[in-house]
Amino acid sequence: MTDFVLVHGAWGGSFAWDRLKADLIAAGHRVLAADLTGLGRRKAEFHPGITLTTHIDDVCAQIADAGLDRFVLVGHSWGGMVITGVATRLGSRIDAIVYVDAFLPRDGQSLWDLTGDWEHNHYIGSQKHSPGAVAPLPGLESAVLSPHPLLTLVEAVRFTGEEAKIPRRIYVFANGWQPTPFAKFADAVQDDPAWEYHEAEASHDLMSDQPEQLLQIVLGCA
């Protein structure tokens, strides 16, 4: 049995992982789908002071509360920022880290650093209507999505050396969504022997478009 920790993307919630979570449990594993302050099931807790550190703290606290020792850590989209932050604290306990069409920051980088003018204009424009909160990007609007805390997008990840202790690193790139901000991360890792690289014929919502492929990739970490 393997323990899996799943972290969702911006504006979303742990519900994004419902199918993968159910499939992993059916395969005999334990799964923690993290709930983050101000988002998803915890959207009533939103306040403009929520930072990336807040969400890293959330995941680390839920791992501790669940009594997990060693685990596989999986993040989707903006969740790549969070799992990188968790890795800087708990890397020696992580058997594999899986970036699912996710941001892959280097030391000292924020999501702001990894995005361009189009995204930046949207982040800033959202402040006119709801200070401290960023509305879903155009085209991603959905009844289940919540405004996202701005400060989580501008706080940088700081490496500690702990993240280097993770023995396996996997990147899953969804090649059916264009233009995509994630192609540069795919390009950076696909020929790197330190990484395992996969492509999926899918939109950014890879969990819905290619659930079986994603399941098999994640199960490969068990």
| 86 vs 32: CA distance, rounded Å | 14
Sign of CA dihedral 202, 204, 205, 211: positive
Residues 73/142, Cβ–Cβ less than 8 Å = no
Residues 208/157, Cβ–Cβ less than 8 Å = no
Q: And the tokens for 101?
A: 């069409």
Q: Is position 77 annotated as part of the catalytic site? A: yes
Q: What is the DSSP string of 127-168?
A: TTTSTTEEPPPTT---TT---EETHHHHPPP---SGGGG-S-
Residues 9/78, Cβ–Cβ less than 8 Å = yes
| 172 vs 187: CA distance, rounded Å | 11
- What is each CA distance from 77 to 1, 16, 90, 178, 203, in whole angstroms? 26, 11, 20, 15, 12
| 150 vs 156: CA distance, rounded Å | 13
14, 77, 126, 146: which one is catalytic?
77
Active-site positions read 77
